[in-house]
Amino acid sequence: MKQGISTPTEADVAKRAGVSQSAVSRAFTPGASVSDRMRRKVLKAADELGYHPNLMARSLATSQSNIIGLAVSSLDNPFYAHVVQELSEQLRLTERHLLLFTAKSETEIDPALERVLSFQIDALILTATIASRALAEQCHRAGIPVVQINRETKLPRVSTIRGENVRASQRIADFLLAGGHKRFAYVGGTEGSSVGRERRDAFTKHLRKRGVKSVSVAYGDYTFEGAAAATRQLLGAAERPDAIFCASDYMAFATLDVVKREFGLSVPEDISVIGFDDVPQAGNPAYDLTTYSQPASSLAAAAIEIVNKSIANPRSRARHVEIPGELIIRGSARRPPL
């Protein structure tokens, strides 16, 4: 069953360098007490043999795997693809790497996520996925820090990172109001999602304070098709909205498509559409979407920082970070007169 070609081990390097196996280990351990001469001798032998330390063995010995679990629900949403990209890139020259898990459903018991625990991951980053209480508890029991991007939890041990949901929604409401809009609508993601609720409530509450009586609401489930359907529903109503705020750019793209092609409305003359995230495509001329940014690189950086701190100090408390963004004014929403 053994492979024909076996990888060299510390013992092999030790023999070739004429030193002890522990010396080899030290030569590869930053900060270990080895003489320069010894280290050079070892590294030379290692190089000649093409030796690479076996991280599985190391993690068995240290109980640190240098692996961070990353659970995503869908990479088809460009915002999350971009967040993952950022995480991976920022980790690139680091010891730690990402083990990918696709969490399809958001049910309580996800056997695939359970498997995470077997990999001895040092931390778990969840993005666009709800941490089940069970998972989070298991992680906590195993001393694994959990960081959630762009989702809330009530779980006490889970750190969270998110955009400026409330501030953004208020800013958007003000911008639309100043643009002279009268009939407002909101396209949410999943009806249950806490982040979505935060945006919706901030939006509607702020509008109400400014005298707007009602805001129509529909849910697009964060999917393209879902958002298209939600938009059709909103536009089919008696009181057709003249301003729609979508909880994500990805959904706003669908909304724009329906608004323009199916209903033949012109943007922003007949109706304004505003998104959330500022994904790279939002600036594409085909959409030219006004949106509120949620900088993926900052979200990723914050997640990594929390992970690093939690690993360094396993008993540190959960943290909750809000990453600032800004309104990115493009052509999909009427601008207020100066």
Partner DNA sequence: CTGAAAGCGCTTACAG
Q: Which of 19, 207, 254, 323 binds DNA (CB under 7 A)?
A: 19
> What is the C-alpha to C-alpha distance for residues 81 and 75, in angstroms, rounded to an integer?
5
Residue 63 is a binding residue for DNA (CB under 7 A): yes
Name the one range near DNA by CB under 7 A: 59-67, 89-97, 129-137, 236-244: 59-67
Nearest to 200 by CA among 162, 174, 178, 170: 170
Q: Which of 40, 44, 47, 57 binds DNA (CB under 7 A)?
A: 57
Q: How many positions of this chain bind DNA (CB under 7 A)? A: 30
Q: How far is CA 254 from CA 220, 234, 240, in A?
A: 10, 13, 17
Q: Which of 26, 171, 181, 334 binds DNA (CB under 7 A)?
A: 26
In whole angstroms, the minimum distance from the beta carbon of 20 to its own copies comes to 21
Residue 316 is a binding residue for DNA (CB under 7 A): no
23 makes contact, choosing from its own copies, DNA, none, with CB < 5 to 8 Å by partner type, with DNA
Instruction: Dihedral sign for Cα 102, 108, 112, 114, please.
Output: positive
> What is the C-alpha to C-alpha distance for residues 114 and 208, in angstroms, rounded to an integer?
44
Q: Which of 18, 180, 192, 280 binds its own copies (CB under 8 A)?
A: 280
Name the one range near DNA by CB under 7 A: 23-31, 73-81, 253-261, 317-325: 23-31
Q: Which of 4, 5, 50, 61 binds DNA (CB under 7 A)?
A: 61
In whole angstroms, the minimum distance from the beta carbon of 208 to its own copies comes to 33
Written in H, E and C, the secondary structure of the chain is CCCCCCCCCHHHHHHHHCCCHHHHHHHCCCCCCCCHHHHHHHHHHHHHHCCCCCHHHHHHHHCCCCEEEEEECCCCCHHHHHHHHHHHHHHCCCCCEEEEEECCCCCCCCHHHHHHHHHCCCEEEEECCCCCHHHHHHHHHCCCCEEEECCCCCCCCEEEEEECHHHHHHHHHHHHHHCCCCCEEEEECCCCCHHHHHHHHHHHHHHHHCCCCCEEEEECCCCHHHHHHHHHHHHHCCCCCCEEEECCHHHHHHHHHHHHHHCCCCCCCCCEEEEEECCHHHHCCCCCCEEEECCHHHHHHHHHHHHHHHHHCCCCCCCEEEECCCEECCCCCCCCCC
Residue 11 is a binding residue for its own copies (CB under 8 A): no
Residue 70 is a binding residue for its own copies (CB under 8 A): yes
Residue ranges in 299-328 that form contacts with its own copies under rule CB under 8 A: 314-315
Name the one range near its own copies by CB under 8 A: 37-45, 154-162, 230-238, 251-259: 251-259
Residue 53 is a binding residue for DNA (CB under 7 A): yes
> What is the C-alpha to C-alpha distance for residues 200 and 189, in angstroms, rounded to an integer?
10
**Cβ distance to its own copies smaller for residue 120 or 194:** 120
301 makes contact, choosing from DNA, its own copies, none, with CB < 5 to 8 Å by partner type, with none
**Tokens representing 61?**
């010995």
Residue ranges in 224-283 that form contacts with DNA under rule CB under 7 A: none
**Cβ distance to its own copies smaller for residue 70 or 234:** 70
112 makes contact, choosing from DNA, its own copies, none, with CB < 5 to 8 Å by partner type, with its own copies
Positions that interact with DNA (CB under 7 A): 1, 6-7, 9-11, 19-23, 25-26, 28-29, 32-35, 37-38, 51, 53-54, 57-58, 60-63
Positions that interact with its own copies (CB under 8 A): 2-5, 7, 50, 52-57, 59-60, 63, 65, 67, 70, 72, 74-76, 78, 81-82, 84-85, 88-89, 92-93, 97-102, 104, 111-112, 114-115, 117-120, 138, 141-143, 224, 253-254, 256-258, 260-262, 280-281, 284-287, 314-315
